[in-house]
Structure 1
Amino acid sequence: MTGSYISIQNGDKSFSGYLAVPEVGHGPGIVLCQEIFGVNAVMREKADFLAEEGYTVLVPDLFWRTESGIELGYNDEDFQKAFTLYQNFNENLGVEDIQTTLDTLKSLKECDQDVGLGVVGYCLGGKLAYLAACRIPEVACAVGYYGVGIENHLDEAKKIQGKLVLHMAEQDQFCPAGVRHQIIQALSAYKNVQSYVYNNVDHAFARPHGTHYHKPSALIAHERTVTALRKQVGPDYDLEALWEEHVRFEFDTRDVKATMATMVAEPYVNHIPTLTGGVGYAQLSRFYRHHFVHNNPQDMTLTPISRTVGVTQVVDEFIMSFTHDEEIDWLIPGIKPTGKYVEIPMLGVIKFRGPKLCHEHIYWDQASILVQVGLLDPTGLPVAGAVTAHKLLDETLPSNELMSTWPSSEGKSID
């Protein structure tokens, strides 16, 4: 937990809220609405995560009218208590408490004043995010994860002024297929509403460490959430410039400390073909210092081919070329220098969290490298050497030469 609790004034009474702030000390404001288990460790972790994305996040204790300070786990006993609290919860008052929380958020110096506000919620909070989008005009962007009972308030959708994103689980027993179809059909009439269904996952698929947690779906949902928030309330980051700075520290100045400073507190790098890199600050620093930054040939060059810059990530396509005049731990581990010149196409998927790199997934054809350094005889194998890089630069070079069946289609109909 990196945030702290503050008091949210409601007339002559008050309730608490967990406040998480970005590293820079301020950001667009988001109210994060809890599951039925209260402002527990999972909700605080979610808040801290969004703060890393650049947002000032306030998680109100929405059960305060019944019992303040609820922090439940996910065993049977806690679930029964949570369900009882949910049954006794007044959703209309809950939306009023979200409005109060938004007012408190706007008054904080940590909340950017010249941009819109967001509401994100899970489970019970997912429905409340929907209702907030309908009833609170100043909500510029609302995101609901597997909200329960939205179908009972579809008539309110016409009042949504901002952006609404709903994440729905295909196997959610609390929102079965018929109900989900009803919601999606009703909301499809509104251009400012997007609904996503995640196949083969259940309710709470985005709850870290939970029984139903499904990492691929959670990651895609988070990316869609942050994309919507960025477009509606900001903040706006120049990811291309951030990525170029990182690469400069890696390959030009070869400065490990500066390289790590461009990344989040616990980043990771995964070079897919060789399983090299590191997870977490300590292991990645070790990898960079002893096996990467100072472990590349002096003539190593990166030739850019294409670059796609999204809201949360950069995808870089490039050719890496070098003389294999020293052992390269991360690329060809265990292979002594051969003196061969190598040209290899590469693809990097670079994810950002806020203004810092979160992870790198780097792909290349390892067989092509082995062919070029003389360790793999391509005869009779569907592999190629430097021509893979050459054809990326010149698409007119012959295609299909590795396909023995290619001549058999000559002159055949293409209809």
Structure 2
Amino acid sequence: MQQPLAYRMRPRTLDEVVGQRQLVGEGKIIRRMVEAKMLSSMILYGPPGTGKTSIASAIAGSTRYAFRMLNAATDTKKDLQIVAEEAKMSGTVILLLDEVHRLDKTKQDFLLPHLESGKIIMIGATTENPYITINPAIRSRTQIFEVFPLQEADILQAIDQALHDKERGLGEFPVTLAEDARLHLSRATNGDLRSALNGLELAVKSTPPQEDGAIQLTRAIIEECVQRKALTHDKDGDAHYDVISAFQKSIRGSDVDAALHYLGRLVEAGDLAIICRRLMVIGYEDVGLANPNAASRTVNAVLAAERLGLPEARIPLAQVVVDLCLSPKSNSAHVALDKAIADIRNGKAGDVPNHLRDAHYKGAAELNRGIGYQYPHDFDQAWVKQQYLPDKLKDKHYYQPKMTGKYEQALAMRYQQLQEWKKHK
């Protein structure tokens, strides 16, 4: 049986890796390790279909080391022993260990000395946060790199490569892929390249050719093969982004009916990941300090939606959309931060005042570090007048409170009180 298209199109060198340029691009960490022949074990973590296995395969191809693949959950200690024996006989082996977070203690204890010696270079792959789920003994012997969902341009590039590659791809098939179908394929899988390529292969091999022999792939065919409907009939392919934009702007504008309409479109398109991410942003960007509990409720609703999956996910999503729509709004916190970042980027940072500098090392006092710092908890109201900003910014004010919610009204009163104390105490 022929391997799936996504498997056949795995990159053979780093130059063939699609996306993840922050790791494999020119001058980036994994490329440097390969070019310097200084590979070390690593853990790649991120969503499915984002290139973890592809990076491991490309590293092996670029270094000419043997490449083996195991699963920490299903493969046994004996399987690890076979890899270790191969490493002893033939030199270094690159081991892609999928679901590395499920490595039990017996397998871990066997693997550790081989990682120490460098005979086995482990590339662990996981969708779980390794700082939480990976045993410290393994974590301390690896470098941890995060991979991200691929961008639309990355998936379009991979689709085009697969359609033209006659050796590993679909180049032998006379395929005509309509542009709106191509765009939908790049967007509907939410950055999961494996799903996009396997959906494309299913479409090609299950669509009868026309009388002239050509295989015409329409958007309707792609929708069926990836099981995601397009948002609207939009020949320019902008509807996807237009609906997401209208969704956030409707919530920001407190129009609950419009927001539910656009939520319905996104639910029908199956874009759960996009909905969840956008709601998290809205909770903090648009509601913010006017109602911080709404942001917390948004996080809980998103967790519930992700666990439930569609169609049931629509229930907590609808609830939180109504909540965010009808909540008071404030963007004061992130606007204040953006002003501070703008000063920093324009060279207006300045030195940290000496009395705030770290004094927890020998010789700090001789450098005047930490001298004169007053501990606020030693004073009434847990406050004492002292300078915190650098000298060149000491009179700068970034935060401008809004009076749109009871919580921020209380913060504004406290802020004003502190300003008065600074003037008169």
After TM superposition, the score normalised by the length of structure 1 is 0.30
Q: Comparing both structures, which one devotes a greater share of its residues to helix? A: 2
> Which protein has greater RCO, CA pairs closer than 8 Å, 6+ apart?
2
Look at both structures and tell me which one has the larger radius of gyration over its CA atoms: 2
Q: Comparing both structures, which one devotes a greater share of its residues to strand? A: 1
